[in-house]
Amino acid sequence: MTEVFGRRPFLVLALLAAALLVVPFLPLNDYVLHILTVFLIFSVFATGWNLTLGILGLKTLGHHAFFAIGAYLSAITAYYGGVSPWLTVWVGALSAAAAGVFIGFPILRIRSMPHVAIVTLAFAEIVRLVFSNLKDITRGELGFWGIPPFDPITVGDMTVRFGIGNAVGSFALAAVFFLAVHLALLLLLTSRTGLTFLAIRDSETAAESLGIRLSAWKLFAFGVSAAVVGLSGAVYAHYVMILTPTSTAGPEMLITLLAMIIVGGVGRFFGPIAGALLLTVLSEVLREFGDFRMLLYGLVIIVFVFVAPHGIAGLRLGRLRKAERAEPGTAGAT
Amino acid sequence: MLRLENIDVHYGATQVLWDVSIEVGEGEMVAVMGPNGSGKSTVLKAAMGLKKPSSGRVVLDGEELQGRSATVRPRRGMSIVLERRRLFPRMSVRENIMLGGYARPSAEAHRSFDWVLDLLPEIRPHLDATAGKLSGGQQQMVAIARGLMARPRVLLMDEPFLGLSPAMVKNVFAIMKMINGEGVAILFNEQNAKLSFAMSHRGYLLESGRVVLSGSGEEMLEHPEVKRVYLGVREAVS
Amino acid sequence: MSVAGFLELVINGLISGSIYALIGSGIALIYGTTRVLNFAHGELLMIAGYLVFFFAVTLGWNVFLASLLTLVLVGAIGALIQRVTIAPLLAREDWAFRVIAATIGLSIFLQSGAQLVFGERFQSVPYFFRGVLVLGDLRMPWQRIAIFLIALAIMAVCALILYRTQLGRIVRATAQDAEAALAVGIPSGLVHTSVFVISAVLAGAGAILLSPLISVNPWMGISYLLKGFAVVILGGLGSFGGAVAAGFLLGLIESFSVGFAPTEWRDVIAFTFLIAVIWVRPNGLFSGREA
């Protein structure tokens, strides 16, 4: 438990909330707020994926498909249906969850890491190509632009606007979204449900012998994970207001998110947040060297896999527990 | 000639062997007997280098083997017949046996092949069969043949009687006697006390990962503890 | 559909299928023997593409000499990848996922590296074989037919190595029971490196055969890697023969899909087929026949 959540997860979340609350009062320009907004959205994406990747121990590689599904379905419903993004984001999340269950069902019956990895990756490729090919609806790689931002909220005589160009409003929305999702997941994961997830990760056979219905649980976790990622995609769509299939469901998205999770710590609840912050900031700092971004991400992944396999979240723990290195040959292939 | 000294073995964080010391002399037949889960298979795997002990030494003819790869053992005259035969199931019997001589130069391997087939002529008709399609008893023959290809001076046999019919057990028993008669020392493990100790020069009793008793075969059979717990229980069951 | 049109679809399917089979059988060989999924396998194609372009076009060497040297080099690079990035991870906990992550990192690193070094120019190697085969209404460039025949020959050589040589025997023994192989003294390190070399050569051969037809670019490995993976799953994970058969099947499916759907849906159909198969037969179409 403490390995996944740390000692006081709710306190950490409260501290994060406090930090986010301070941000709008700091003398930051819109550009910095934009970067922080992107960081918050990607944190939710990373946390959602980490749910299957690390916490459930199911090595899926296609969660960018759910991000794209959430983003595009919410954007399409809002753009063509004229429905408020406040409602359509849920359409995006639910569609992603449905897709998660659809793709989760066949692979969950097989306890084979290669099957899970390859089938989810192939699914992401299908999703990218479908959004790319449905040019009449999405305009393909030219980009689906004109996506409406979230409707403004008026409190008293103050109106808060959202979408790109409205940095403070967008940041506040992303912060609320970030905190709400993490709080909800933390409540879910520290409940009996969460314990079941961890039991499954630690030993499928043991969990099964305790009467845990493996497939049903995994499917549920997969659905939740896809829904969270889909929701982050939808929020992203109405923030940046333009989408392309490759920027949402392409290989760079996979690499970026994988790097965030690995740097932060696979299977640590707060790990991906740290990873997302570090890599979002780093890639902005190195913005002039745009061509080197993927080179850097590739290198970062390799280095962390070798040097700090539990990410930054695991660095401190790792030192204490050097003694119990796993022995060669005991790790299973599946 | 083969000595395991103060071996500790861990699987992950769980320790399965504590301070196990076992010795096999030149040409001896030595049994490691113990109930299920006592760690007797791990003793053989540690000796063979298939499982790395966390501490202790494995010494063959004065040469320290601990820390060296399993692949050096066949070159030093040590081989193993693994539990449940573990043949290469989709390869022919001939290929299986020849691979047993992998560590030896090809001319020697071919000589060993003839020697092994002379010892175990019942394999000859099945040489071109697919190993996985043979019966359990036939597979055990092939597994023994594969183990002998390295011309070992000490042969480890992990549960050689497991899953065999009573007639086949007798057969394998006779083969072990014969191999031992050729001067090959044998270290084997087995759950059945009578079977273990009646056929061996010396024996060890392993319980929960510790050697609790050792002595000559007769001493072990006559030991009140062995009689009470292992032979007694066995007679009550049968 | 005319007979010639039908034949053309079959032949085109067999041609792209032979490339999928080359790539997939290499991935299957590695997985079957070492339980490793190498996500940088596609970059071996890319590297081979650049190498053959460099030797045959930039230096203007004879294509066969250029191809031979490319295969040697790409095999060495395969061995290097296995030794440096994969072997050190195998002894650690959770190695299966770590290898996947590390090779994904390596893959994107090599792609971006190639982009920085060679830019985004798309370069093609000239046809190795001139002329067109004309059979009635059917017209097929010899280059394309050569792809199929050479790929078949290469896979036959590979099968001979696997089933008729000592190297093949120790590879199959390790695939069938790694511990028993270790116990008879087969060094797993040698076996692992060997299968990486073989599969790198298979991928390199695929890239050389493709290089006149598609352009050599930093991303050319991506789609072939995905197809190779699909083929490995369809063929029954780790089965060399299954991967070869599934490679041809996937090629044919893609070829015929063009008959009833626009070309840009071809990959959607191929991957949907994969997912449909997983729904019905999770262990693949040709399971049960491994190395």
Q: Which long-range contacts (CB under 8 A, 24 or more apart) does A80-88 make?
A: A80/A137, A84/A150, A84/A151, A85/A148, A85/A149, A85/A150, A85/A151, A85/A234, A85/A238, A86/A150, A86/A151, A88/A234
Q: Which residues lie across from C140 on neighbouring strands?
A: C133
* CB contact set of B181 (below 8 Å; sequence gap of 6+): none
Sign of CA dihedral C146, C149, C153, C159: positive
Other CB atoms within 10 A of residue C164 CB = 10
* CB contact set of A23 (below 8 Å; sequence gap of 6+): A33, A36, A171, A175
Given a cut of 90, whether residue B55 has pLDDT beyond it is yes
| Phi, psi (deg, nearest 5) at residue A83 | -85, 150
Asked if B11 lies within 8 A of A324 by C-beta distance, the reply is: no
Report how many Cβ contacts below 8 Å link chain B to chain C. Answer: 65
DSSP state of B162: T
Other CB atoms within 10 A of residue A218 CB = 23
Query: What does the pLDDT look like over A24-68, one tens digit per residue?
Result: 888 888 899 999 999 999 999 999 999 998 888 888 999 999 999
Location of structure tokens 């790790």: A331
pLDDT tier at A316, thresholds 50, 70, 90: low
| pLDDT confidence of residue C51 | 96
A299 or A107: which leads in pLDDT: A299
What's the whole-number mean pLDDT along residues C40-50? 96
What's the whole-number mean pLDDT along residues C95-99? 90
Given a cut of 80, whether residue A202 has pLDDT beyond it is no
C107: contact with A, CB 8 A cutoff = yes
pLDDT tier at A94, thresholds 50, 70, 90: very high
Structure tokens at A12: 């950490």
What subunits touch chain A, counting only 3 or more CB pairs under 8 A? B, C
Given a cut of 80, whether residue B237 has pLDDT beyond it is no
Helix C266-280 crosses helix C240-260 at what angle (to 10 degrees)?
130
Q: How far is A51 from chain C (nearest CA, A)?
A: 15
Given a cut of 70, whether residue A221 has pLDDT beyond it is yes
Query: Same domain, yes or no, for B218 and B157?
Result: yes
Q: Which of A118-127, B1-10, B66-75 has the lowest average pLDDT?
A: B66-75
Query: What does the pLDDT look like over B24-40, one tens digit per residue?
Result: 999 999 999 998 889 99
CA torsion, ordered B101, B103, B107, B111, to nearest 10 deg: -30
Within a domain: B133: yes
Query: What does the pLDDT look like over B182-205, one tens digit per residue?
Result: 999 999 999 888 888 988 999 999
Q: d(Cα C15, Cα C7) in Å, to the nearest integer?
A: 12
What's the whole-number mean pLDDT along residues A149-158? 88
pLDDT tier at C129, thresholds 50, 70, 90: confident
Within a domain: B172: no
| pLDDT confidence of residue A317 | 53
A95 or B230: which leads in pLDDT: A95
Given a cut of 60, whether residue B233 has pLDDT beyond it is no
Report how many Cβ contacts below 8 Å link chain A to chain B. Answer: 10
A13 or A67: which leads in pLDDT: A67
Location of structure tokens 């063509």: A80
What's the whole-number mean pLDDT along residues B210-228? 91
Q: Is B86 left (phi over 0), alpha (psi -120 to 50) or beta?
A: left
Query: Same domain, yes or no, for B52 and B159?
Result: yes
C169: contact with B, CB 8 A cutoff = yes
Q: Which of C108, C117, C239, C285 to mutate to test the interface with A (most CBs of A within 10 A)?
A: C108
Percent of chain A with pLDDT over 90: 55
A144, containing H or E segment: strand A144-145
| Phi, psi (deg, nearest 5) at residue B219 | -55, -45
Beta carbons of B68 and B11 less than 8 angstroms apart: no
Q: d(Cα A207, Cα A193) in Å, to the nearest integer?
A: 13
* CB contact set of C115 (below 8 Å; sequence gap of 6+): A291, C218
**Number of domains forming the structure of chain B:** 2
Given a cut of 80, whether residue C81 has pLDDT beyond it is yes
DSSP state of B183: T
Query: Same domain, yes or no, for B225 and B203?
Result: yes
10 Å CB burial of residue B204 (0-12, 13-18, 19+) is buried
Q: d(Cα C139, Cα C134) in Å, to the nearest integer?
A: 5
| pLDDT confidence of residue C288 | 52
For B102, the domain range is: 86-151
Query: Same domain, yes or no, for B57 and B133?
Result: no
When the pLDDT of each residue in chain A is averaged and rounded to a whole number, the result is 87
Query: Same domain, yes or no, for B145 and B157?
Result: no
10 Å CB burial of residue C113 (0-12, 13-18, 19+) is middle
Query: Same domain, yes or no, for B157 and B206?
Result: yes
CA torsion, ordered C240, C244, C247, C249, to nearest 10 deg: -120
CA torsion, ordered B124, B125, B130, B135, to nearest 10 deg: -100
| pLDDT confidence of residue A322 | 45
What's the whole-number mean pLDDT along residues B74-93? 93
| pLDDT confidence of residue B225 | 87
Give me the residue spans of the domains in chain A: 10-250
Query: Same domain, yes or no, for B48 and B104?
Result: no
Asked if C105 lies within 8 A of A117 by C-beta distance, the reply is: no
Given a cut of 50, whether residue B12 has pLDDT beyond it is yes
Within a domain: B171: no
Asked if A119 lies within 8 A of C91 by C-beta distance, the reply is: no
Listed residues B151, B186, B205: the one ending a domain:
B151
When the pLDDT of each residue in chain B is averaged and rounded to a whole number, the result is 91
Given a cut of 80, whether residue B236 has pLDDT beyond it is no
Given a cut of 80, whether residue C262 has pLDDT beyond it is yes
| pLDDT confidence of residue A279 | 92
Asked if A326 lies within 8 A of B10 by C-beta distance, the reply is: no
Q: d(Cα A174, Cα A89) in Å, to the nearest integer?
A: 13
Q: d(Cα A232, Cα A180) in Å, to the nearest integer?
A: 12
What's the whole-number mean pLDDT along residues C143-155? 93
| pLDDT confidence of residue A331 | 37
Asked if B80 lies within 8 A of C181 by C-beta distance, the reply is: no
Q: d(Cα C180, Cα C35) in Å, to the nearest integer?
A: 16
B13: contact with A, CB 8 A cutoff = yes
A327: contact with B, CB 8 A cutoff = yes
What's the whole-number mean pLDDT along residues B221-234? 80
Other CB atoms within 10 A of residue C279 CB = 14
What's the whole-number mean pLDDT along residues A118-131? 96
| pLDDT confidence of residue A111 | 74
Other CB atoms within 10 A of residue A267 CB = 24
Query: Same domain, yes or no, for B61 and B160?
Result: yes
Q: How far is C69 from chain A (nearest CA, A)?
A: 28
Percent of chain C with pLDDT over 70: 98
User: B77: helix, coil or strand?
Assistant: coil
What's the whole-number mean pLDDT along residues B119-147? 94
Q: d(Cα C241, Cα C29) in Å, to the nearest integer?
A: 10
C144: contact with B, CB 8 A cutoff = no
The order of strands in the sheet holding B154-158 is: B78-81, B154-158, B185-190, B29-33, B202-207, B210-216
DSSP letters spanning chain C: --HHHHHHHHHHHHHHHHHHHHHHHHHHHHHHHH----TTHHHHHHHHHHHHHIIIIIS---HHHHHHHHHHHHHHHHHHHIIIIIHHHHTSTTHHHHHHHHHHHHHHHHHHHHHHHHTT--B-PPPSS--EEEETTEEEEHHHHHHHHHHHHHHHHHHHHHHHSHHHHHHHHHHH-HHHHHHTT--HHHHHHHHHHHHHHHHHHHHHHHTTTS-B-TTHHHHHHHHHHHHHHHT-TT-HHHHHHHHHHHHHHHHHHHHHS-GGGHHHHHHHHHHHHHHH-TT-TTTT---
ipTM of the complex: 0.93
How many helices (H) and strands (E) chain B has is answered by: 9, 10
Q: d(Cα A52, Cα A107) in Å, to the nearest integer?
A: 13
Give me the residue spans of the domains in chain C: 3-280
| pLDDT confidence of residue A124 | 96
Query: What does the pLDDT look like over A223-239, one tens digit per residue?
Result: 999 999 999 999 999 99
Q: Which residues lie across from B14 on neighbouring strands?
A: B11
Q: Which of B9, B11, B48, B55 to mutate to test the interface with A (most CBs of A within 10 A)?
A: B11
Structure tokens at A199: 């039991």
| C3-280 placed in CATH 1.10.472 | no
Q: Which of B218, B167, B221, B214 is nearest to B194 (CA)?
A: B221
Chain B residues with CB inside 8 Å of C163's CB? none
Given a cut of 50, whether residue A329 has pLDDT beyond it is no
What's the whole-number mean pLDDT along residues B224-228? 87
What's the whole-number mean pLDDT along residues B37-56? 92
B80 or A319: which leads in pLDDT: B80
Structure tokens at B139: 């597979």
Query: Same domain, yes or no, for B2 and B66?
Result: yes
Percent of chain B with pLDDT over 70: 97
Within a domain: B68: yes
| pLDDT confidence of residue C134 | 86
Structure tokens at B140: 């055990």
| pLDDT confidence of residue A332 | 35
Q: Which of B155, B140, B6 is nearest to B77 (CA)?
A: B155
| pLDDT confidence of residue A174 | 94
C171: contact with B, CB 8 A cutoff = no
Given a cut of 60, whether residue C65 has pLDDT beyond it is yes
| pLDDT confidence of residue B234 | 47
| Phi, psi (deg, nearest 5) at residue B31 | -110, 140
Chain C residues with CB inside 8 Å of B110's CB? none
Q: Is C287 left (phi over 0), alpha (psi -120 to 50) or beta?
A: beta
* B29-33 and B78-81 beta bridge pairing: unpaired
How many CA atoms lie less than 13 Å away from B221 in the CB half-sphere? Answer: 14
